[in-house]
C-alpha cells in the first residue's frame, strides 16, 4: 500500500492504533533516519495490522467510527506516526508523546541531507526546504525559490527540481502490510503477537496488558483514566496509568495483582474508577490541607493513597472522623519516610490492602512495625541530601504545619502565599558557592538539613551572604523566626567552618519536631476538630530553587535535560531516589532518572547521579540500569547511539 493511502486510511479511521500500545517514543535522529532511507530508496520495513470488527473495537484517540472492520496497527506505529506527522504537518489523532520529535524537518538541496530547523543555519537560506510545507504545497510551492536559488543555471534548477520530486515521491512509496485476521484472534492472542513482533521495540507493562483486556469491552477506559490523570496533573500531582488502574483494582477486588481483574465485569470496573477517583480527590485535599503536602515533589508514598481510598470504600465512602483521619495520615507519613513502597510494590500493596480490610489502621501500623520495628524518627534520618531524599517532604511538611515563619517579615508559611515574590523557594541556609569554595562535597552542600523554605523576596535579600552575617539581623528584627525553622541558636554554629556541626544540631531539632507532630496525629492530641466533609486545601504552592543559588552543575544538568527533550527523548524524573526493587534500599539519589528508558519502553532504565562515591553502581548495573556519573558521559552515550543509528540508516535497517 502506498504511503499516501496509509495516511488517508488513518484520516478516515480505517487504520487506527489499539489501546494497549504505548505512545510515540521516537527521537529526532530516528525520524531523520527514516526519511533518509525513504529518500535513498532503502528498505524501511512494513506494517502489521489486526483486522477486526469495528463494532466494539478499542482504538486510541476516540471511538472507532468506521463500519465493518478496522485495521489496528500492531507493528509500525512509530513509522506510521512519523510519516503522518512529517507529511501532514501535524500529529495523528491517536498521538501521545513529544510532537517536537517530528516537527521542523528540513532538507538541504545541495548536499541532500535532512536536519531539523536551526534558525542560525536555515533562516533566510533557500537551500533548506521545510519538508512538511513541501508535502502540503507540492512542487509549485517552491518553484520560484528554486529558480532564485539556481540564478539562471538550468542544470542546477533541474537538479533541485529532481531532488524535490524525489522527496515528494516518498508519498508514493509502496510499503508492505501483513494482516492478522480471524475469529480466533482475541485480544489476548493479539497482545501476544504484538509482544513477539516488538521483541526489539516497545514492551507492554502489566498494566498495559490488563487495560488491553478491559478495553475490549470498555473502549473508553483509557481515555477516561487519562482524563483523570490530566486533572490531577493540573492540580500539581503526577500519577501514572498503572497507579490508577491499581487503584481501581484495590476498590473492586481488594487486590494489587492485575490478574484479579480478569473476570470482573466491566460495569464494576467502571464503577470502581468512579469511586477511586472520588476518594483520591478527597484524600489529596486532606493531605494538602492537613499535612501541607500539596504538590508532586513532596507527595511521597503515592501507593499509600490507594490504601486510604480502600479504607474509605470499606466505610461506605464516608469521610473519616478527625481522629481516624489523623491516624491514617500518620501512617501515610511513616510509609513515605520508611520507603514502604520503595521495593516490591505489588507485594507490599497487597499486604496493606489485606491489613486495612481486616484490622484498619492498626493493621497498617503493624505491617510497618513488622519491617521497621521502632518508628521513632532519629537525627540521622535527616542525613540525606538532594530534593529527592525521603525526608525532604518531611521538612516541607513541618514547614507548612508547625508554624514556620518567613525570615523577611515573619509571615507564617502555613498557607498558600500569593504575589509575584511570595512563591516559596528552597533556600540553602549556608550558600552553595560559599560551601564549595570552602571545600565541602556536593552531598554535604545539598544536605536536607541545609534546606529551608522562604519567599522569593526574602531569598533574594539574603542572596549568598554567610549565616553569621544575616542570621543576627533576622533574630533582631523577627524574634522567634529562626527558631520556627529549627535553626540552632548558637552563633558559633553559624560559621562556615562549623557547618557540619550545624547540620548535626539541626537534624536533632528536625527529628524532635517530627516525632512531636506524628505523635499528635497518632494519639489525637493535635486539637483537630471533627468534620463531616472532606477538608479543602489551597492551590498547590509553587516551590522552586532560585537561579542565584544554582551551581554550575545544576545549570549543566538543566541544559542536558533540555537538549534531550528537544531531541525527542523522554522527560526525566528529577531529584529522585532510586531504590532496590527487592529490598527498598536507596541505591542512588539521582539528579535525573528515566525509569522506562530514554525512549519509553525501549532500552534500559537510565540513572544520572553526579555523586559517584555514593551511588551503588554495581547493584544498579546488576539490576539492568545504565548508570552515568557525569553529564558528559550521558551526552556522549547519546551521541554514540546517534552514530550507530546513522550506520543503520546507511544500511537501511529500521525498526519500531
Instruction: Give the whole-angstrom CA distance, residue 535 versus residue 521.
Output: 16
Mean of per-residue pLDDT scores for the chain: 86
For residues 446 and 505, state if they share a domain. yes
User: For residues 400 and 85, what is the distance between their CA atoms, to the nearest angstrom?
Assistant: 46
Residues whose CB falls within 8 Å of the CB of residue 242, separated by 6 or more in sequence, listed in order? 205, 206, 207
* 109 plus 217 within the same structural domain: no
Split at pLDDT 50, 70, 90, the class of 530 is: very low
Task: Please report the DSSP string for 499-553 in residue order.
Answer: HHHHHHHHHHHHHHHHHHHHHHHHHT-S-PPP-SS----PPPPPEE--GGG--HH
CA distances from 536 to 230, 281, 298 (A): 20, 10, 18
Q: Has residue 310 got a pLDDT over 60?
A: yes
The C-alpha angle with vertex 580 and arms to 576 and 583, in degrees rounded to 5, equals 130
pLDDT at residue 62, as a whole number: 72
SS3 state of residue 59: strand
As a whole number of angstroms, the distance between CA 488 and CA 482 comes to 8
24 in Cβ contact with 77 (< 8 Å): yes
> Could you give the CA distance from residue 615 to residue 578 in angstroms, rounded to a whole number?
10
| Residue 56 clears pLDDT 80, i.e. is over it | no
Half-sphere exposure of 551 (CA within 13 A, CB side): 14
Over residues 97-130, the pLDDT tens digits come to 877 888 999 999 999 999 999 898 999 999 999 9
Output the nine-digit C-alpha cell for 535: 477538608
pLDDT of residue 348: 94
Pair 608, 519 in one domain: no
Over 50: is that where the pLDDT of 634 sits? yes
In this structure, the answer to whether residues 331 and 391 fall within a common structural domain is no
CA-CA-CA-CA torsion sign (203, 209, 211, 213) = positive
Q: What pLDDT does 420 receive?
A: 42
Boundary (domain end) residue, out of 523, 548, 573: 548
Assigned domain for 297 exists: yes
Q: Which residue has the higher pLDDT, 615 or 608?
A: 608
Candidates 412, 406, 397; CA nearest to 482 is 406
Per residue in 244-275, pLDDT tens? 999 999 999 999 998 898 889 999 999 999 99
Classify 195 as helix, strand or coil: helix
Angle in degrees, CA 506, 508, 514, rounded to 5: 105
User: Is 445 in a helix, a strand, or coil?
Assistant: helix
* 3-class DSSP assignment, residue 650: helix
Among 28-37, 42-51, 511-520, 590-599, the range of highest mean pLDDT: 511-520
C-alpha cell at 306: 490507594
355 and 394 fall within a common domain: no
Average pLDDT estimate for 78-87: 95
State the Cα–Cα distance between residues 1 and 529, nearest whole angstrom. 69
Helix axes 499-523, 392-401, angle to 10 degrees: 70
Q: Averaged over 296-321, what is the pLDDT?
A: 94
The answer to whether residue 656 is domain-embedded is no
In this structure, is residue 198 part of a structural domain?
A: no
The residue range of the domain holding 258 is 207-371
Backbone angles phi, psi at 425, to 5 degrees: -130, 150
> Are 363 and 333 within one domain?
yes
pLDDT of 421 > 80? The answer is: no
Closest CA to 328 of 357, 307, 313: 307
Is a pLDDT exceeding 70 seen at residue 552? Answer: no
Kindly state whether residues 620 and 532 are assigned to the same domain. no
Query: Do 583 and 543 share a structural domain?
Result: no
Do 384 and 468 fall within a single domain? Answer: yes
Residue at 199 is within a domain: no
pLDDT in tens, 317-359: 999 999 999 999 999 999 999 999 987 788 999 999 999 999 9
Section 28-43 average pLDDT: 93
Contact 302, 341 (CB under 8 A): yes
Is 447 strand, coil or helix? Answer: strand
Are residues 211 and 360 located together in one domain of the fold? Answer: yes
450 within some domain: yes
Q: How far apart are CA 211 and CA 376, in angstroms?
A: 41
pLDDT of 207 reads 78
The residue from 339, 371, 403 where one domain ends is: 371
- Compute the average pLDDT of residues 622-639: 91
- Pairwise CA distance, residues 92 & 8, whole Å: 11
Q: Has residue 195 got a pLDDT over 70?
A: no
Binning pLDDT at 50, 70 and 90, where does residue 537 land? very low
Per-residue pLDDT band for 656 (boundaries 50, 70, 90) equals low
What per-residue confidence (pLDDT) applies to 584? Answer: 74
- Window from 8-12, 334-338, 510-514, 558-562 with minimum mean pLDDT: 558-562
State the cell numbers at 395.
521538612
> Does 189 reside within a domain?
no
294-298, 305-309, 320-324, 445-449, range with greatest mean pLDDT: 305-309
Asked whether the predicted pLDDT for residue 28 surpasses 70, the reply is yes
The answer to whether residue 476 is domain-embedded is yes
pLDDT recorded at residue 548: 41
**How far is Cα 483 from Cα 46, in angstroms, rounded to an integer?**
68
Higher-confidence residue of 540 and 467: namely 467
Q: What percentage of residues in the chain have a pLDDT greater than 70?
A: 88
Confidence of residue 533 (pLDDT cuts 50, 70, 90): very low
CB atoms within 10 A of CB 445: 20
What is the tally of structural domains in the chain?
A: 4
H or E element at residue 273? helix 266-286
Phi-psi region of 576 (alpha: psi -120 to 50; beta: other; left: phi over 0): beta
Considering 513, 548, 583, which residue would you say is the last residue of a domain?
A: 548
| Domain membership flag for residue 185 | no
pLDDT tens-digit readout, 207-247: 777 887 787 678 678 889 989 999 999 998 999 999 999 99
Amino acid at each position: 500500500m502506498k504511503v499516501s493511502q496509509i495516511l488517508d486510511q488513518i484520516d478516515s479511521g480505517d487504520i487506527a492504533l489499539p489501546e494497549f500500545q504505548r505512545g510515540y517514543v521516537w527521537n529526532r535522529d530516528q525520524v531523520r533516519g527514516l526519511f533518509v532511507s525513504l529518500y535513498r530508496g532503502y528498505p524501511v520495513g512494513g506494517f502489521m495490522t489486526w483486522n477486526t470488527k469495528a463494532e466494539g473495537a478499542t482504538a486510541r484517540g476516540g471511538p472507532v467510527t468506521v463500519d465493518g472492520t478496522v485495521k489496528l496497527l500492531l507493528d509500525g506505529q512509530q513509522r506510521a506516526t512519523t510519516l503522518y506527522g512529517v507529511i501532514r504537518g501535524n500529529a495523528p489523532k491517536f498521538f501521545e508523546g513529544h510532537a517536537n520529535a517530528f516537527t521542523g524537518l528540513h532538507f538541504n538541496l545541495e548536499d541532500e541531507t535532512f536536519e531539523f530547523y536551526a534558525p542560525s543555519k536555515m533562516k533566510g537560506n533557500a537551500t533548506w526546504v521545510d519538508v512538511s510545507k513541501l508535502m502540503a504545497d507540492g512542487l509549485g510551492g517552491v518553484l520560484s525559490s528554486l529558480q532564485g536559488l539556481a540564478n539562471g543555471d538550468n542544470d542546477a534548477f533541474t537538479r533541485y527540481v529532481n531532488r524535490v520530486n524525489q522527496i515528494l515521491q516518498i508519498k508514493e512509496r509502496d510499503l508492505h502490510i501483513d494482516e492478522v485476521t480471524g475469529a480466533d484472534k482475541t485480544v489476548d492472542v493479539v497482545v501476544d503477537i504484538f509482544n513477539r513482533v516488538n521483541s526489539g521495540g516497545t514492551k507492554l507493562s502489566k498494566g498495559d496488558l490488563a487495560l488491553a483486556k478491559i478495553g475490549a469491552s470498555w473502549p473508553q477506559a483509557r481515555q477516561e483514566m487519562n482524563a483523570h490523570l490530566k486533572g490531577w496533573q493540573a492540580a500539581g500531582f503526577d500519577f501514572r496509568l498503572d497507579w490508577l488502574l491499581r487503584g481501581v483494582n484495590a476498590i473492586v477486588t481488594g487486590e494489587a495483582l492485575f490478574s484479579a481483574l480478569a473476570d470482573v465485569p466491566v460495569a464494576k470496573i467502571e464503577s470502581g474508577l468512579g469511586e477511586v477517583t472520588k476518594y483520591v480527590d478527597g484524600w489529596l485535599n486532606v493531605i494538602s490541607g492537613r499535612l501541607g503536602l500539596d504538590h508532586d515533589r513532596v507527595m511521597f508514598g503515592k501507593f499509600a493513597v490507594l490504601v486510604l481510598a480502600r479504607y474509605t470504600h470499606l466505610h461506605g465512602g464516608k469521610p473519616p472522623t478527625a481522629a481516624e483521619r489523623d491516624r491514617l495520615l500518620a501512617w501515610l507519613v511513616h510509609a513515605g519516610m520508611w520507603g514502604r513502597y520503595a521495593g516490591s510494590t505489588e507485594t507490599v500493596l497487597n499486604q496493606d490492602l489485606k491489613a486495612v480490610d481486616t484490622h484498619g489502621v492498626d493493621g497498617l501500623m503493624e505491617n510497618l512495625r513488622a519491617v521497621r520495628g521502632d518508628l521513632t524518627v532519629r537525627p540521622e534520618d535527616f542525613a540525606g541530601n538532594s530534593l529527592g531524599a525521603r525526608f525532604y517532604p518531611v521538612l516541607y511538611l513541618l514547614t507548612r504545619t508547625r508554624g514556620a515563619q518567613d525570615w523577611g517579615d515573619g509571615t507564617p508559611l502555613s498557607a498558600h502565599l500569593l504575589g509575584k515574590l511570595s512563591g516559596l523557594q528552597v533556600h540553602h541556609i549556608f550558600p552553595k558557592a560559599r560551601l564549595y569554595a570552602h571545600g565541602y562535597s556536593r552531598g554535604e552542600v545539598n544536605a536536607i538539613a541545609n534546606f529551608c523554605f522562604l519567599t522569593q523576596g526574602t531569598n533574594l535579600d539574603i542572596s549568598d551572604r554567610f549565616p553569621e552575617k544575616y542570621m543576627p539581623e533576622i533574630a533582631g528584627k523577627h524574634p522567634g523566626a529562626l527558631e520556627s525553622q529549627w535553626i540552632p541558636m548558637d552563633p558559633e554554629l553559624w560559621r562556615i567552618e562549623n557547618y557540619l556541626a550545624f547540620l548535626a544540631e539541626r537534624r536533632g531539632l528536625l527529628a524532635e519536631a517530627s516525632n512531636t507532630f506524628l505523635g499528635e496525629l497518632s494519639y489525637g492530641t493535635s486539637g483537630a476538630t471533627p468534620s463531616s466533609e472532606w477538608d479543602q486545601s489551597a492551590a498547590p504552592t509553587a516551590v522552586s530553587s532560585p537561579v542565584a543559588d544554582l551551581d554550575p552543575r545544576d545549570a549543566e544538568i538543566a541544559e542536558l535535560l533540555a537538549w534531550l527533550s528537544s531531541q525527542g527523548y523522554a522527560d526525566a524524573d528529577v531529584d529522585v531516589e532510586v531504590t532496590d526493587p527487592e529490598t527498598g534500599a536507596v541505591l542512588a539519589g539521582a539528579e535525573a532518572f528515566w525509569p522506562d528508558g530514554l525512549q519509553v519502553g525501549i532500552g534500559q532504565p537510565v540513572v544520572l547521579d553526579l555523586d559517584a562515591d555514593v551511588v551503588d553502581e554495581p547493584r544498579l548495573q546488576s539490576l539492568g540500569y545504565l548508570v552515568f556519573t557525569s553529564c558528559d558521559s550521558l551526552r556522549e552515550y547519546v551521541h554514540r547511539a546517534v552514530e550507530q543509528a546513522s550506520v543503520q540508516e546507511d544500511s537501511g535497517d529500521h525498526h519500531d
